Structure 1
Amino acid sequence: MAIKCLFVIGNHRLFSDGTRDSTRDSGLQEESTLYKDIVQIDYIDSYGNLSYKTVFSISWAVRYCSSAKNVMKTDTDMYVNTYLLPFLTKKAPTKLIDRNSKWYVSFKGYKENKFPPMCSGTGYIISMDLVLTILQTSKYIPFLHLEDVYIARCLKKMRVTPTYLLGFNNMKPGFNPCSYKNDIITSHDVKPKELDIYWNQIKSFSVSVIPENVYKPRPLLRVH
C-alpha cells in the first residue's frame, strides 16, 4: 500500500511592522521544491483555526487524492507507525468507519452537557466515502475551535460512531523500539530529534505482529 505524507500549513501572523518572516517563507519554499509535500492554506496557523484547517485538509484530499481509500489526520508532534498502517487499514471497515486553557469551551459556544464520542485529534483515520459525507455535513454544523470535537459533531449528525483502536495514543508511551514497531500506531508529543532517534532504532527490528491482529478495537470509555 502506498502512503503519501503531506504537511498542511497555514499563514503566519505579520510582524508589528507589517513584514513577514522571510526565513520561514524561504524554508517552506525549499521544502516544497525538494519534497513536494507542502499544502498551504489561507488561514492564520493557530489552534483556534484547527477546525478550518482540518476541513480544508480533507477537502483537498477529496479533490487531489480521490483514488485514496483512507485519509489520516495527525498532528506535527506525532510518531506514526507507517509499518503497521497498511495492516490496520486492510482489516478496518471500508465503509463509514470512522478560560485560560486552549481546550476551554464555554456553554455559549457549546450548549450540550458532554461531547459526542470522538477520536483524539492527535491522530485518526477515516475512509474516503466518510470524508465526502463529513464535508457535506460540516456545512450545517456550527463552528467549534476544537477540531476533533467538531468532526465528532459531524459524525454524530451522520449517526456514525467512531471505532477506538489499541495502539492509538494521545499520550507518549515510553519508547521501546520493538514495541514502537509492533504495538504503537501513534505516540504524541514527540520532538523532531526524538523522531530521528526512534526511526533509526526501530529500522533494525522486524514486524513480528500478525497482520490480522493489528486492527484491535477497544471498549468505548464512558464518562458519567
Structure 2
Amino acid sequence: MTTIRASLQGITDGIVDPQDAREFIQVSLDETLRLSSLVDDLMELSSFEEKQVKLILQNVDVPELVGLVVTQLKMKAKAKQIELSVEIEGPYTVYADADRLRQVLINLLDNAINHIPEGSIAGIRVKKIKSEHWIEVWDNGPGIAPEKVQHLFDRFYKADESRNRSGAGLGLTISKHIVEALGGSLRVESRLSQGTVFMIFLPAVSIPSDDKLMT
C-alpha cells in the first residue's frame, strides 16, 4: 500500500514528470495485483484450515492432466532454456478434484522453473507403488539447504528471497492443504548441488462411477 500511495501521490502533487507517470501507474497496478493475489491466497488458505472447501471428486486421467500442466508452462520454461521432462510408466486414473490437483502441479513446476538456473531440467514423474499413486515434480537445480527444507510448507516462508520476491510464500502451504484434503500427502526431498523433488502421494482407492461433491 505504501508503494501505491507514494506513486499516486507523486502524480497528483505534480512531483512526477508527465513522461514518467505511466511507469508510476504501472508500478501501482503491479502492487495492486500483488496485494489482490495475497488476499486471495489468504482466503483460500483460511477455507482449507476451516475445512470449508468444496472438492469435486471425479476420475482424473493423470497423463492428460500432466500434459495440460506442461503445455501451460512450456513457454516460460523455454524462455529460460529449461527442458521439461515427463515420465509416466503407464495409464493412470486417480479419484480427485482435477482443478485442485492441476493447481498443485502448476505451482510446484512453476516454482521449479523459477528457482533453477538456465539450462537446467525440471519435470513430472508418475508411477504407482503398491497402494499409492506417486506424482513427483523434480528438478536438477542447486537444491535447498537442509535447515530450510523443513520450513518450506510454513506460511510466508521463502527459501530464497532473491528468487521469489513476487510471491507471498503461501503457494506450498496451500498445495499441502489441497493434497491432504484429497486424502494424500505432500513431501519434499532436496540435496545441495543435486536438485529437489516434491512427492505427491495419493491413495489408490476404488473409483465410484458418478462424480461426487465433497466438502
Give the TM-score of the pair, scaled to structure 1: 0.26
Q: Between Structure 1 and Structure 2, which shows a larger proportion of strand residues? A: 2
Q: Between Structure 1 and Structure 2, which shows a larger proportion of helix residues? A: 2
Give the TM-score of the pair, scaled to structure 2: 0.27
The structure number with the bigger radius of gyration is: 2
